[in-house]
Amino acid sequence: MASLQHLPCTSATSTTSATQSRRPLFAKPSHFITHAKRNNRLQISCSSSEDQVNTPQGKVDRRNMLLGLGGMYGAANLISTPAASATPIQAPELDKCGVATNLNTGQQLDINCCPPTSQQIIDYRLPPVFQMKIRPSAHRVSPEYIFKYNMAIDRMKRLPKDDPRSFMQQANIHCAYCNGAYDQPGQGTLDLQVHNSWLFFPFHRWYLYFYERILGKLIGDPTFALPFWNWDNPKGMTMPPMFVDPKAAIYDDKRNQANLPPAVVDLGMTGNKDPLQVVANNLTIMYSEMIRANANVYDFMGQPYRAGTPVNPGPGSSERGSHVGIHVFVGDPRQPSGEDMGNFYSAGRDPLFYCHHANVDRMWSLWQYFLPSNKLPDKRITDPDFLNAAFLFYDENAQLVRVTVKDCLDNLRMGYDFERIDLPWLDYRPPAQTAKAKVTRTGTSASKAETVFPLKLDQIVRVLIPKTKKGKADELLVIEDIMVDTTKFLKFDVFVNDEDDNVGELDKAAYAGTYAQVPHKTNNKSATTSIRLKLTDLYDDMDVADDDTVVVTLVPRHQGEGVTIGGIKIIENPTPARP
């Protein structure tokens, strides 16, 4: 399916013709500056020197900078603070931290993931931003940057083991929050889990924020910024070269040796061996999870997770897609449980983990401020249970601090931005199907839904699903009651009216989306969730207007059992996009 002709050649000129630019403030502008569709202009006002920020263009009023560039969240949070809620997830109680669990075996770990305890907890306040940090692409950094980065990691590794800023203590943060070491405060033995819900992006943003500040403190450089692994761009679809030097502090030997450069990242985990096709698949995945498949804010961010809620209410499109793909691509199959990156408890032991999640964080920023606003009616979550959810971290001074979600919704307000990189996936909408995919052809081997569910997804399944109405309706495909074994890696892809049945190719109109998970622990080793996939663009690219039904094909990418699906249905989109 993939071809050189189909891979886009992007440029600033071609991209900005479709969008309006945002006025630059920094020497190395963010991708938002060139690509962002923003009309607000920076306003300069008279204020005291204490309120001004130094930029290469001169002094700028910080309040105007935040309001002009901070976007919807930054402005809202400067104006008001949401009222307290009774049910947000509360910060864990460190003195009640328990034994974490190996996600692939379900057995207790022989390591202690719990951090040092402290009786002094301070509510964290974001410091003033006097100079914006620019996180660079890991494939474009200079030798000087690589030297500084390795020096910072080396010094972090040399800290005493009981120092909460030490490398292993920082790695254990992910272990404790993600492998069942913490219970939800006041909820008995109900696990606290920051994945597979609306907490995914905020938790990891705070995690990297303090990790970055600790590294900067250790080398005496407050402007130090973490690199991001630009795996969404073909030029970044290999492990960044600086991470594969065995003599470097940022090296980790527990990685898949078959996936070292020049191996191309396979975000879809399709097993396709054609590098050109893999790149095409990757770009299609990015377009799908960032633009095509989301009908509302929760489809991207993840489903609500409140105090008393069991873990795994539902991951967003980015978390269950490219995020999982990188974890599995890097994790070492020679290790018992896919260590380091392939398992939550050990992922933070690989410095590449933080580089990966810097790009995950970049995806959130792009989705917030850059992607076309007409695709979703609203990208904000104003629910107090989201905004007031809290975590605990040790800052660069080894002070235990409490942070909330509402203070991390704007990366500019937190003092960092990203190097501008072209976004080839932005216009990588799959080509329209040239011939009508009639159900009479694609549905010959499909079963009616009422005869199939519930089903164990251990092989390819085709199901005939009725549409809500004829024509190009604004509809959602809902895959519900997905019961998963949380100790396993699981993934399946979804196709609609797929005629060629070449499941190694995703760059086609029939590809609707995916579900995937990195192993994670729950009390009973199982969880039930659901996903929604928007069909509007897919219908536009396939001639299905006169059809009463469509054929949904489910393609498992994992081995063996582990997924049971309760049902599939098509519903009308209750929150259609603005025209």
> For the domain that residue 451 is a member of, what is the CATH number?
2.60.120
- Tokens for 484? 């998963």
416/449 same-domain check: no
354/394 same-domain check: yes
383/414 same-domain check: yes
Residue 33: name the closest of 43, 19, 45 by CA.
Answer: 19
Q: How far apart are CA 344 and CA 46, in angstroms?
A: 49
| CATH code for position 381 | 1.10.1280.10
406/491 same-domain check: no
DSSP calls for 290-358 = IIIT-SSHHHHH-----TTPPS-S---TTIIIIIHHHHHHHS-TTSTT-TTTTSHHHHTTSHHHHHHHH
DSSP 380: -
508/388 same-domain check: no
pLDDT in tens, 141-185: 999 999 999 999 999 999 999 999 999 999 999 999 998 899 999
Q: How far apart are CA 246 and CA 248, in angstroms?
A: 6
Cβ–Cβ under 8 Å, residues 412 and 70: yes
Q: How many Cα atoms sit within 13 Å of 515 on the Cβ side?
A: 30
Residue 548 lies in a domain: yes
Residue 112 lies in a domain: yes
Q: 96 Cβ partners below 8 Å, 6+ apart? A: 182, 183
Q: Averaged over 253-273, what is the pLDDT?
A: 96
Residue 566 lies in a domain: yes
DSSP 289: I
**Residue 202 class from Cβ within 10 Å (0-12 exposed, 13-18 middle, 19+ buried)?**
buried
Residue 434 lies in a domain: no
Residues noted as catalytic: 174, 195, 204, 323, 327, 344, 357
Residue 26 lies in a domain: no
Instruction: Give this prediction's pTM.
Output: 0.85
Of the three residues 427, 451, 468, the one that is the final residue of a domain is 427
User: Looking at 399-408, 459-468, 511-520, which range is the least confident one?
Assistant: 511-520
- DSSP, collapsed to helix, strand or coil, labels residue 137 as strand
Domain that holds residue 145: 31-427
Residue 483 lies in a domain: yes
More confident residue, 61 or 350: 350
414/393 same-domain check: yes
Q: How far apart are CA 243 and CA 141, in angstroms?
A: 12
Q: Give helix then strand counts, H and E, for the chain.
A: 15, 16
Residue 25 lies in a domain: no
97/145 same-domain check: yes
- Where does the pLDDT of residue 577 fall: very low under 50, low under 70, confident under 90, or very high at 90 and above? low
pLDDT in tens, 352-385: 999 999 999 999 999 998 887 666 767 999 999 9
**C-alpha of 206 from chain center:** 14
Q: Considering its fold, how many domains does the chain have in total?
A: 2
